[in-house]
């Protein structure tokens, strides 16, 4: 028979919370789940294997309560304890999932307001969609696997951190996929020469998509060396070869690739690029990042003016690219945290910010 002490303390904690508060909502849901699981633990209608998991789950809750004392009833601690117990007992029941769902929903909204208030509208929409995916059948299976792997390594599994990290990734994925001026413009049925003529004929204050594509093509041809152009196209050939984008990029691809004997249909790897150009891989990567820096730097200067980039994020990415390029050993992981792929993804987000921003008049 379960002790009534935890139940009594839970009721007292709920009574201290203001009516209608998110903290009380989480405790309400937890109490419903706790009462249901205590009942199922001794129910003859529940399979023995499931009852064993329920016992393990409740035992872990009690142990956590003894360790955390009053902190146990703070929603964020309660949520992490529930996630930990769920993984340890391998108990993915409706009652437990409902606690996690309610808890993460309010936790996510609270963190969005604290951390990303300027982007709260976008983050809130992503949060609602991502939570459903996170607690879906596949999401829960993956969550249990990740939690158990950390426990096997002697590490702490923190449900709230795991969710918040996934939410951030979902946000950046949304940013990279969002339709912007450049995305729309590459659908236009124009050659490179026609696009340039459009840019010349357009006033500097225009925000037309063609203006931004023309700007990028001009920077690409003017600021990048032929080697940097070829490497960029080699690493992005699959995207540039998209049937919906060929009308804009065909002339550019042919013009640059003809100097090096053409490009493959798909993206080239660094080994193949270095062999084709007769350079080592580090040099190829450095040249690629130099090209990315030039594209972002000069597009930002064209939009915002010289030395006046308003976005701290864009400035950080430019500095990260500059630091990597000047690093003798090209220590990408040490400089950017996660390597070349992550740095390029962040560069894409920074470039989208620049191209979506209206030009600043002189």
Per-residue pLDDT of 121-130, as tens digits, reads 788 888 988 9
Neighbours of 69 (CB within 10 A): 9
Burial 97-113 (b: 16+ CB within 10 A, else e): bbbbebbbbbbbbebbe
Looking at the fold, whether 172 and 188 belong to one and the same domain comes out as no
Note the pLDDT of residue 88: 92
Domain span including residue 235: 181-356
Domain boundary among 150, 177, 204: 177
Note the pLDDT of residue 78: 92
The CA distances from residue 253 to 183, 270, 274, 291, in Å, are 18, 19, 19, 16
Looking at the fold, whether 251 and 186 belong to one and the same domain comes out as yes
Looking at the fold, whether 165 and 185 belong to one and the same domain comes out as no
Domain boundary among 152, 177, 202: 177
Looking at the fold, whether 91 and 223 belong to one and the same domain comes out as no
Note the pLDDT of residue 4: 75
Note the pLDDT of residue 266: 66
Looking at the fold, whether 156 and 244 belong to one and the same domain comes out as no
d(CA 22, CA 142): 28
Q: Is 103 inside a domain boundary?
A: yes
Q: Is 14 inside a domain boundary?
A: yes
Note the pLDDT of residue 19: 83
Q: Is 194 inside a domain boundary?
A: yes
DSSP element (H, E) containing 267: none
The ranges of the chain with pLDDT < 50 are 179-207, 245-252, 254-261, 263, 334-338, 362
Looking at the fold, whether 248 and 313 belong to one and the same domain comes out as yes
φ, ψ of residue 360 in degrees (nearest 5): -90, 120
Looking at the fold, whether 56 and 13 belong to one and the same domain comes out as yes
d(CA 50, CA 37): 10
Looking at the structure of the chain, the number of domains it has is 2
For the chain, first and last CA: distance in Å? 77
């Amino acid at each position: 028979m379960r002790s009534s002490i935890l139940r009594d303390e839970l009721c007292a904690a709920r009574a201290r919370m203001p009516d209608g508060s998110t903290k009380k909502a989480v405790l309400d849901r937890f109490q419903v789940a706790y009462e249901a699981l205590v009942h199922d633990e001794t129910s003859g209608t529940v399979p023995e294997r499931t009852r064993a998991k329920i016992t393990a789950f409740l035992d872990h809750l009690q142990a956590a309560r003894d360790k955390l004392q009053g902190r146990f009833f703070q929603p964020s601690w309660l949520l992490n304890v529930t996630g930990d117990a769920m993984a340890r007992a391998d108990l993915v029941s409706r009652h437990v999932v409902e606690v996690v769902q309610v808890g993460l929903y309010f936790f996510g909204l609270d963190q969005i307001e604290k951390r990303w208030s300027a982007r709260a509208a976008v983050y809130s929409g992503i949060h609602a969609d991502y939570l459903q995916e996170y607690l879906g059948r596949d999401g829960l299976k993956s969550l249990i696997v990740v939690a158990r792997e950390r426990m096997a390594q002697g590490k702490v599994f923190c449900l709230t951190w795991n969710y918040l990290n996934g939410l951030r990734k979902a946000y950046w994925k949304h940013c990279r996929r969002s339709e912007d001026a450049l995305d729309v413009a590459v659908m236009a049925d124009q050659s490179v020469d026609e696009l340039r003529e459009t840019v010349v004929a357009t006033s500097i204050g225009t925000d037309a998509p063609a203006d931004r594509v023309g700007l990028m093509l001009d920077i690409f041809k003017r600021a990048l060396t032929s080697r940097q152009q070829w490497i960029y196209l080699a690493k992005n050939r699959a995207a540039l070869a998209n049937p919906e984008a060929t009308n804009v990029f065909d002339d550019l691809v042919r013009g640059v690739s003809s100097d090096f004997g053409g490009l493959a249909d798909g993206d080239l790897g660094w080994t193949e690029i270095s062999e084709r150009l007769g350079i080592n891989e580090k040099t190829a990567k450095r040249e690629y990042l130099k090209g990315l820096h030039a594209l972002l730097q000069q597009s930002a200067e064209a939009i915002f003016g010289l030395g006046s980039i308003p976005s701290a994020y864009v400035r950080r990415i430019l500095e990260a690219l500059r630091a990597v390029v000047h690093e003798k050993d090209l220590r990408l992981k040490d400089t950017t945290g996660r390597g070349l792929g992550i740095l390029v993804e962040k560069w894409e987000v920074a470039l989208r910010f620049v191209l979506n921003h209206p030009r600043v008049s002189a």
